[in-house]
Amino acid sequence: MKRILLILSLSLLTIGHTALAKIKVAASLPDLASIASYIGGDRVETFSIARNTSDPHSVEVLPTYMVKVSRADVYLKVGLALDQWADQIIDGARNSAIRVVDCSSGIAVLEKPSGKVDASMGDVHPDGNPHYWLDPNNGAIVAQTISDALTAADPGGATEYAANLDKFKSDLAQRLTAWKAAAAAIPNRNIITYHSSWPYFAHAFDFTIVAHIEPVPGIPPTGSHLAELLNVIHENNVKIVLQEPYFAEDAANYLARQTPVKVLKLPPSCGGTDAGSYLDHFQQIFDALKAVS
């Protein structure tokens, strides 16, 4: 009996140690956390600071975030000046051992200003548009970056991370074929978006963003700008306006009253941090587009 109890005790200690040994991964966005969950499998525990219903450009820095990050092993940043608020969280966490990973590494950046950037241009990102995760091909690049970071933090999991990375890329490639077919089936791919959140998605799936509701990034539309958009809609036969859920809906609803456009309220980020959320988000986008096209 004593021998059995000893074996059970050792087994429980081993299980407890395994649970405690999980690599804790913090991420600015659920998309990055979801990819990390896919690559890390049972060896990681992930969480996201921002939600898909909140503006990723502007996140309130709370002490609770600092406490959570103080216990993390890896922090995944979007980079390209989108999540500058993350620096304050990381600094406040006082976690000298944390690995901070810029997930924009290796991305072919779109909309990078070629000249001087000043306040008259609105909230323009000097290093280019930071919404790169909305191109699934960039998701594969991010997955490689995350796999490398997890391997550095946990060399013992290198084989598992590499296998999960291969699986992720294979899963993505299969789904990408279906998504491209879904995009091709949409007769008119001229769209208007509120903010410049969707250029990578448009680039990946051959949509054309003919205008934004914001006259310049971060600036609400004026009456004259909305009047111009009415002409743009008619001239380009626009059928769809993509409205991010964290921006005011008045302008998009006005356009819908004045023209045949339909407003789709779609978050640029996925809704969860589990392994399937990032890839499932693209299917949700195409399901919504199909319903109104």
- 147, 38 in Cβ contact below 8 A? no
Q: What is the pLDDT of residues 173-214, one digit of tens each?
A: 999 999 999 999 999 999 999 999 999 999 999 999 999 999
Residue that terminates a domain, selected from 151, 178, 205: 178
Residue 86 and residue 165 in one domain: yes
55 lies in a domain?
yes
Unique residue bearing structure tokens 């500058």: 84
How far apart are alpha carbons 30 and 274 in whole angstroms? 9
Residue 50 and residue 168 in one domain: yes
Residue 131 and residue 29 in one domain: yes
228 lies in a domain?
yes
The DSSP code sequence of 152-210 is: HH-GGGHHHHHHHHHHHHHHHHHHHHHHHHHHHT-S--EEEESSS--HHHHHHHT-EEE
The DSSP code sequence of 42-62 is: GGEEEEESS-TTS-TT-----
252 lies in a domain?
yes
Long-range CB contact pairs, 80-84, < 8 A, 24+: 80/104, 80/109, 80/125, 80/127, 80/128, 80/129, 80/130, 80/132, 81/125, 81/126, 81/127, 81/130, 82/28, 82/56, 82/57, 82/125, 82/130, 82/131, 83/28, 83/29, 83/50, 83/56, 83/59
5 lies in a domain?
no
Q: What is the pLDDT of residues 116-149, one digit of tens each?
A: 655 555 566 688 999 999 999 999 999 999 999 9
Q: What is the pLDDT of residues 68-120, one digit of tens each?
A: 999 999 999 999 999 999 999 999 999 999 999 999 999 999 998 886 655 55
Residue 38 and residue 170 in one domain: yes
Residue 131 and residue 276 in one domain: no
Residue 212 and residue 113 in one domain: no
**The model scores a pTM over 0.85:** yes
Residue 144 and residue 63 in one domain: yes
pLDDT at 10 exceeding the cut of 50? no
How far apart are alpha carbons 254 and 268 in whole angstroms? 22
Q: What is the pLDDT of residue 15?
A: 46
Q: What percent of the chain has pLDDT over 70?
A: 89
Residue 208 and residue 284 in one domain: yes
- 77, 28 in Cβ contact below 8 A? yes
Residue 118 and residue 263 in one domain: no
H or E, element range at 282: helix 277-292
Q: What is the pLDDT of residue 224?
A: 96
Residue 238 and residue 203 in one domain: yes
The domain in which residue 167 lies consists of 19-178
How far apart are alpha carbons 94 and 231 in whole angstroms? 53
Lowest mean pLDDT, pick from 56-70, 103-117, 218-232 = 103-117
CATH number at residue 274: 3.40.50.1980
Residue 199 and residue 152 in one domain: no
Residue 120 and residue 245 in one domain: no
How many independent structural domains does the chain possess? Answer: 2
Residue that terminates a domain, selected from 120, 153, 178: 178
